[in-house]
Amino acid sequence: MAKISRRSFLVGSGLAAVAAGAGFVGCAPAAAPDKAATDTAGQKTGTSPYQALSTLNPQDYDYRSNSGDLSHVFSLWKMGGMEFSNRMVKSAAGSSFKGGGWDIFIEYYERIAKGGIEMVRIENFFHALTPYTNRLKDSVDDIASKYDVPKLIERLHAAGAKVGTQIDTMASGFMTEIKARGAYDTQYLTLEEIDYLVQSYVHAAKVMYDFGFDAFELNCAGENVPQWFLAPARNHRDDEYGCQTYENRTRFITRVIEGIQEECSKDWPLQVLIDGIEENDEEVGQNAELNSVEDGIEIAKILQDAGIASLHVRLGPMHKHVCQFMSDLYFDTFGCEGSTGYGSQFDFARHFQGKLIANHSGCGMMLDVAKQYKEALSIPVGTVTYMDPAHAPDMFDKAIAEGKVDFLIMNRPLNVENNYVTKLKEGRIDEIRPCTRCGHCFNDTTKESMQTNGGYGMSLACRIDPIRGFIGNDRGLPGSWDPEPITGEKHVMVVGAGPAGMEAARIAAQRGCTVSLYDKKGSLGGLLTFASIVKGPHENLDDYVSWVKKQLEIEGVEVVTGKEVDAAFIKEQSPDVVILALGGKRDSLKLTGDDATKVVSIEDAPSAELGENITIVGSNLQATDLAFYLIEQGKHITIVTPDTPEMMSKGQSLWQKTFSTPMLYSRGTRVWNEAELTSIGGGNATVKTKNGAEVTYACDAVIEAMDMLPNKDLLDELSGVEAYAVGDCDDPWNIQYAIRAGNFTARSL
């Protein structure tokens, strides 16, 4: 009789094997119920109940078909008195412009408008509650004296876009006082304070109206003040603002709407943003006092009657605010889809009422929820969370055709590719630079802050477009936004076709250089190949490599693979400039394994025979990504690292760390921080812990995943040659830093 694993038993093959092998009579698995198999949030089409038990939130990736028909994405629609020729809208997500300056801020939005977006919502770049302060934003009453807002609107109008903005209703400065009395709870607001908030929001809207904005959005979701009134979880009042009726719950918001209409115009298109469906993410399932879709629809009906022009619905987790708009973070940990950020998992077949499209790695997950709102309302309804029709063309076109949603609210894809809409309309999807959903763009950690204090220094930087990181800082752009043409002629040789080398070759060629790109392997990508394997499809890394290949082809870069380049070859080719992107080196443990405990490099680990009990030495992002990959295969993982717990997954974006690290522990990974692996062999390993104790445990394989080291030996051999080292070859860290290094070095030539 064949050996049966617990996993195979649960998915049904084990039952079949037992029945056949043991000759059980009358004990064969019962036939599945005779009904059409359907895709649900928590279960693939056609799966057995046993598979549902063994796999939580299974994913499929067959949703990305492209028939070439985007006629519904590019169809006419109206919002208020405005008409648009495509269904894509720039959300009011922020760039934190105060660091970069107003001119960069204008150019950032102008480029998106020129790329074909016809409705651009500017982030809430002001705070409404004078005299309360906000360290990131100026008071609405100071805007006119500090920023040329009419210039912003004029430039975007000239680019072909209508311009909206959003009011900041989070009231962070005001909340400092409220928190002293309680928490995020409306019962701590006096009637006078409620009046003050209403008047302040109306006043802020009037200032924006007078500037000439075409539309306005009121944020009533998440941790924003208006949302406090909408759900019993935060509204414990028993007066006219209490939760006893939907009219009471919405009274604060309708007062703001009425005030805006009175002070501005009833014809000024006002959009309201609400939580379309809510769930408790910290204490999973404790959601009785949160709003269901049915609650939200009743709220939306009242807001529609109050005169709003459109509705924006998004996900409503109670605690992790970032997942209101980057809800696909729930899917960024391989094998742990549904990760809450607290070490637990949602069961998407049950949580959020089982209404999310949760088997497509977060893509378009709110579309079915939006459909319920659209069916109940007569105003346009839009939604957010990785709304990317270039990523899944047929899915999004069909969603509009079937009336699930009126408009797609987008941010990250438009940041990565400013010409997104134009290229999509022209059928040039393979030229659209893909968002890799890494989370670096939203309050990320810098390498410097990670090394000094565990990651509490914030930055904004796109992994794929390095220039995006200059919008929200005071360093200024490295030259112009687009690479400037080279002076004269230059032959640039790039050695190494990982992320740094490919980007350096692309930018150098874009500037007019003659570029040759060499790699010793038979394909492009470098460590992106490893990253794609261990991370899975969620981050679209294969899409990124395909995009770079297309760009290298367009720019005429000579690509030579299977060629190991040395100093003699470089001097023989006599290039004007050499850019070395060879990747970093890894130190060795200098421990000798045996047949019972082998030593494997991290690059070879995904394809190696490892056994069941595996030790990973190192805790950087490559090490932890590999850990999840192996955990998904049922391996038992121990991590031994010289680093402190705060450095776990260093190099990962802040938000990926936030969601993945708790899951690493909850999946049973044993982590020895500030420790050293001292010996291996005979199926065991011994670790010296930070307190000096030695612990021996079962170990079938040791994977060397220590931090990379610079790799500049070839650079040292190139005396008399203009040569640069970039990426891990120079300063090992992550994909984002490698691409940035390649980009900036090529710009500096």
Q: Rounded to 10 degrees, what is the CA torsion of 357, 358, 359, 362?
A: 100
pLDDT at site 447: 74
Which residues have CB under 8 Å from 530's CB, separation 6+?
A: 602, 603, 606, 622
Segments in 41-168 forming alpha helices (H): 49-54, 102-114, 143-146, 149-158
Q: What is the pTM of this model?
A: 0.91
- Percent of the chain at pLDDT > 70 equals 86
List pLDDT tens digits, range 205-238.
999 999 999 999 999 999 889 999 999 999 999 9
484-584+713-748 is classed in which CATH architecture? 3-Layer(aba) Sandwich (3.40)
pLDDT at site 6: 30
Tokens representing 449? 């802050």
Of residues 48 and 124, the one with the higher pLDDT is 124
Q: How far apart are CA 64 and CA 540, in angstroms?
A: 12
- CA geometry: angle at 416 spanning 415 and 417, to 5°? 95
Reduced to 3 states (helix: H, G, I; strand: E, B; else coil), residue 345 is strand
Q: Which CATH class is domain 77-432?
A: alpha beta
Confidence band, pLDDT 50/70/90 cuts, at residue 134: low
* Rama region for 423: left / alpha / beta (φ>0; ψ in -120 to 50; rest): alpha
pLDDT at site 180: 59
CATH number listed for the domain at residues 586-709: 3.50.50.60
Q: Find, among 397, 441, 451, the residue nearest to 646 by Cα.
A: 451
CB 542 within 8 A of CB 533: no
β-bridge partners, 670: 638
Confidence band, pLDDT 50/70/90 cuts, at residue 186: confident
Which residues have CB under 8 Å from 395's CB, separation 6+?
A: 63, 64, 65, 360, 363, 364
State the CB neighbour count (10 A cutoff) for residue 478: 15
Amino acid at 250: T
Average pLDDT over all residues of the chain = 89
Quick check: 165 pLDDT over 80? yes
> Mean pLDDT over residues 442-468, rounded?
69
pLDDT at site 127: 81
Q: Find, among 466, 468, 558, 477, the residue nearest to 519 by Cα.
A: 558
List pLDDT tens digits, range 84-112.
999 999 999 876 555 567 888 899 999 99
List pLDDT tens digits, range 602-618.
999 999 999 999 999 99
Tokens representing 470? 């200059």
List pLDDT tens digits, range 290-329.
999 999 999 999 999 999 999 999 999 999 999 999 999 9
- Through-space distance between the first and last CA atoms of the chain, rounded to whole angstroms: 68
Q: Which helix (H) or strand (E) holds 160?
A: none
Q: Which long-range contacts (CB under 8 A, 24 or more apart) does 366-370 make?
A: 366/276, 366/277, 366/313, 366/314, 366/315, 366/327, 367/399, 367/404, 367/405, 368/404, 369/276, 369/277, 369/293, 369/313, 370/276, 370/313, 370/404, 370/405
Confidence band, pLDDT 50/70/90 cuts, at residue 450: low
Q: Peptide bond preceding 131: is omega within 30 degrees of 0, i.e. cis?
A: yes
Q: Give the C-alpha distances (Å, rounded to integers) separating 688 from 494, 573, 596.
A: 43, 51, 21
List pLDDT tens digits, range 62-82.
999 999 999 999 999 999 999
List pLDDT tens digits, range 528-572.
999 999 999 999 999 999 999 999 999 999 999 999 999 999 999
Quick check: 421 pLDDT over 80? yes
pLDDT at site 634: 96
Could you tell me the residue ranges of all domains in the chain? 77-432, 484-584+713-748, 586-709
Q: How far apart are CA 601 and CA 620, in angstroms?
A: 14
Q: What's the residue count for the chain?
A: 749
pLDDT at site 15: 28
Quick check: 20 pLDDT over 90? no
List pLDDT tens digits, range 150-162.
999 999 999 999 9
Q: How far apart are CA 288 and CA 197, in angstroms?
A: 28
Quick check: 14 pLDDT over 50? no
CB 345 within 8 A of CB 285: no
Tokens representing 638? 């121990």
Q: How far apart are CA 177 and CA 535, in angstroms?
A: 43
List pLDDT tens digits, range 500-536.
999 999 999 999 999 999 999 999 999 999 999 999 9
CB 740 within 8 A of CB 469: yes
Quick check: 467 pLDDT over 90? no
- Percent of the chain at pLDDT > 90 equals 79
Of residues 357 and 470, the one with the higher pLDDT is 357
State the CB neighbour count (10 A cutoff) for residue 243: 20
> Mean pLDDT over residues 36-49, rounded?
40
